[in-house]
Amino acid sequence: MIPTQKSDSERLITPTMLVLFLVLATVPLWIARVGLYPYLGIEILIWSLYALAFNLVLGTAGLPSFGHGAYFGIGAYAFGLCQFNIVANLWICLAAAFVIAGLAGALVALFISHRRGIYYAFMTIAFGQIFWTLAIKSHKVTGGEDGLLKIARLPADLGFASFDLAGNVAFYYFVLIVFALAVIALWRLVHSPYGRVIAAIKQSETRAAHLGYNVWLYKASIFTLSAAVSGFAGGLFAMAQLAAFPDVMSLHQSGYVVMMTLVGGGLVSFWGPVVGVFLFLIARDVIGALTNAWMLYFGLLFMAVVLFRPEGVAGAITAAWQNRSLHSMRQQGGSALRLLFGGERWR
Amino acid sequence: MFDLLPHILNGLTLGLLFALIALGFMLIVGLMEQINLAHGSLFALGAYFAMQLMGPRPPFPPDLAHAWLAMPLGWRYVATLILAPAAVGVVGIAIEFCMRRTYGKDPLYGLLLTFGAAMVIEETIRLTWGTRDYVLQVPQGVSGGFLFGDLIWSTYRFYAAGIAVAIIGLVWLLIEKTSFGATVKAGAHDSEIVRALGINLTRLRLLVFVFGTMLAAIAGIIVAPIWGIRPHMGVDAVIPAFLVIVLGGVGSFWGAVVAGLLVGLAVGLTGAYASEWSLLSMYVLLVAVVTVRARGLWGKKSVLEA
């Protein structure tokens, strides 16, 4: 036992992160050989970032948000519109995606942060639908259902050197670097004093309020931050797709990110959302190649996870890794789920 | 003012349909404190079953099919109104058997489970019937239109609104005026005591759930001739149903009915002036109400909020 040894939650970069980043860095070398394609790698990274941002609200703060696709989509549109109308600079446009989605999130947070449970959940759905309808109906701004087309992958200009990101492999590495930085930032955020207060509010709003924390402000700020990071991921997604479409804002797609996060085990593990995105997107491609009814099988899988494995895949892996009993992990998953809809009073 | 009258009437009939769609959802939320997100898919399934039964190829053995097709359209329609919900009820039994494992835990389990079930049902619909639109035949007595004032009114809309009123009334009688309703409500309130009184709560909950799914199917059959039958209709129904319940407040019967009418009026009136934005109005209405009132219009305290 070395007394000075740091626990993972105090580190800037954990061993898990290093291994993950290194493995991800080799992906373009072999992904084509296993029958997949580099674009899938990009999609997985972007959705992972989005799911991690979403899990700030669902897993960390225990707030049921079912309309998160709106912020992802707003980020994508903001990126495209900034590129067309303001300035075609990668950094400014990504910042615009972050800021505009954050502003939308802050606006929504004003209306919902004093609500809880089912009323909170449905307010997020309502706002998600409002933004989605706006995106579809504002033909002049967003291109309506056709989407905003011809978005370019702008070159990454670092001042001393400029990288062309038009190719999938170059863009993959760009997204990987951004993803790595964002993961480190989110890891620190979750384990910061601020993150601890958020976790305390998830346990009990009343208790946190009695300790003198401004619960409303914490709930509003984490939602805003989550929306902003989701929007940032959306900006990357617009670059990946070379377009921004309204369908990522639909209720269905917002539901997918909830499913990914829960199947992966976002309620008990920081890495849950990433695991879920991997499973979901690879299942989509592999099962989707065999049968066009892949949603049927994924739906059945999801039902089975909810019934038998509320701790999710990451929970099961963590349990095996740390030699903790699966049972305690499952209880942790169960109690995290329970807290989401405030089952404290449920016998 | 008289220009407005048709739109108000239109909105009210639409509102009654929204209330009808929300009815099964409300029953399960109010009596079991469970959110059934598969409600919309069951609604769609009811419409598809009815379409299959009313169509040229009913799902019967050849002899029976022949006899069935020889029956007048009106009789077949009435029989379909019973058979299709019964078939959907069987699907409801299957869902309830899964959902059973989540009772006593957080309602979110049920919500997520039924979200998965909704995906499975919708995908099954796509596989069975494809993605094309279908039309549900209705008897001549209720189709067509009539002239009143200077306007042509659709007979079917008024027929559908009438059915909605009748079913809402019946369900109210069932849960407020019968011992069945009293027992079920007591079961939601305190399951231990109800069990201790020797009541088979497991069976009672199954009944409530199946009843809720059958109401979804009936709503699907009634609404199908107006909205058309397509795989997406489930999602188009479950969101307004959920919205009506949240707007009316969890656990309030008349809250849901009034919320349904309000949503119908809002959609109908915005539809008259800015049809592009008609669906948006219900969300704006919800946000406006729930921002100010913690439990919708007349919601009661429930486990669905922390």
pLDDT tens digits along A221-269: 999 999 999 999 999 999 999 999 999 998 888 988 998 888 888 888 8
pLDDT tens digits along A74-111: 999 999 999 999 888 999 999 999 999 999 999 999 99
**Closest-CA residue to B28 (of B161, B175, B176):** B175
Residue B50 DSSP SS3: helix
Is the pLDDT at A343 greater than 50? The verdict is no
CA A73-A77-A80 angle, 5° bins: 140
Residue A161 DSSP SS3: coil
**Every domain of chain B and the residues it spans:** 4-292
- Map tokens 């996870």 to a residue: A305
pLDDT of residue B252: 85
Confidence of residue A328 (pLDDT cuts 50, 70, 90): low
Residue B154 DSSP SS3: strand
Q: How large is the average pLDDT for residues A331-339?
A: 65
Q: Do A342 and B305 touch (CB under 8 A)?
A: yes
Nearest to A137 among B123, B124, B277 (CB): B277
DSSP B142: G
Confidence of residue A48 (pLDDT cuts 50, 70, 90): very high
Q: Do A130 and B102 touch (CB under 8 A)?
A: no
pLDDT of residue A3: 55
Parts of chain B with a pLDDT under 50: none
d(CA A135, CA A104): 13
Helix and strand element counts for chain A (H, E): 15, 2
pLDDT of residue A346: 34
Nearest to A341 among B101, B107, B294 (CB): B107
pLDDT of residue B15: 93
A163: which strand partners? A156
pLDDT of residue A345: 36
DSSP A56: I
Query: Residues B262, B5: contact at Cβ < 8 Å?
Result: no
Bridge-based pairing of strands A162-163 and A156-157 is antiparallel
Is the pLDDT at A342 greater than 50? The verdict is no
Confidence of residue A4 (pLDDT cuts 50, 70, 90): low
Q: Do B306 and A259 touch (CB under 8 A)?
A: no
Segment of A43-47, A145-149, B273-277, B293-297 carrying the highest mean pLDDT: A43-47
d(CA A227, CA A235): 12
Using the Cα atoms of residue B57, residue B60, residue B64 and residue B68 in order, give the sign of their dihedral: negative
Q: Which of residues 164-223 of A touch B (CB under 8 A)?
A: 205
Confidence of residue A1 (pLDDT cuts 50, 70, 90): very low
Backbone angles phi, psi at B26, to 5 degrees: -65, -40
- Please, how many CA atoms are within 13 Å of residue B27, restricted to the half-sphere of its CB? 30
Q: Which of residues 215-274 of B touch A (CB under 8 A)?
A: 235, 239, 242-243, 246, 250
Query: Residues A135, B298: contact at Cβ < 8 Å?
Result: no
Identify all chain B residues contacting A346, using CB atoms and an 8 Å cutoff. 104-106, 303
pLDDT of residue A322: 66
Residue A46 DSSP SS3: helix
Q: Do A130 and B284 touch (CB under 8 A)?
A: yes
Q: Domain B4-292, CATH 1.10.3470 — does that match?
A: yes
pLDDT tens digits along B216-262: 999 999 999 988 898 889 988 999 999 999 999 888 889 999 999 99
Query: Residues A156, A163: contact at Cβ < 8 Å?
Result: yes
pLDDT of residue A2: 55
ipTM of this predicted complex?
A: 0.87
CA distances from B165 to B20, B48, B170, B209 (A): 8, 23, 9, 21
Backbone angles phi, psi at A95, to 5 degrees: -65, -40
pLDDT of residue A54: 96
DSSP A343: G
Confidence of residue A334 (pLDDT cuts 50, 70, 90): low
The first and second tokens of residue A3, run together, are 């007394």
Residue in B283, B293, B298, B302 to test binding to A, most A beta-carbons within 10 Å:
B283
- Map tokens 């349909």 to a residue: B17
Q: Does A306 touch chain B (CB under 8 A)?
A: yes
Query: Residues B28, B212: contact at Cβ < 8 Å?
Result: yes
